[in-house]
Amino acid sequence: MDIHVGDHLLMKKPHPCGGNRFSVGRVGMDFRIRCETCGREVMVPRAKVEKNIRRVVREGRELTREELERRPNAKLEPTGGQEDV
């Protein structure tokens, strides 16, 4: 999953304070995310974060599922623009 620093994550499982919106402070093997409700920061392993994400908001826009699960080796269909007439 393609998560950037500064993204806002809506999580399936809320923070103990009840907030489920977090901002990303750091990405890597572990993510550092900050609860936007109480301001506390937590370090969470990447795999755990990715499993728990419901939605991602980047620059005020919610990312689509395709953008989140974009595969680098996605197949491109040829459109056939080389026909002889």
Q: What are the residues binding Zn ion (CB under 5 A)?
A: 15, 17, 19, 35, 37-38
Identify the three-state secondary structure at position 50: helix
Q: How far is the CB of 47 from Zn ion (least distance, A)?
A: 21
Least distance to Zn ion from the beta carbon of 35, Å? 3
**Rg from Cα positions in the chain:** 17
The closest alpha carbon to 9, from 41, 49, 46, belongs to 49
Using the minimum distance from each CB to Zn ion, give the nearer residue, 36 or 50. 36
Quote the least distance from Cβ 48 to Zn ion, whole Å: 16
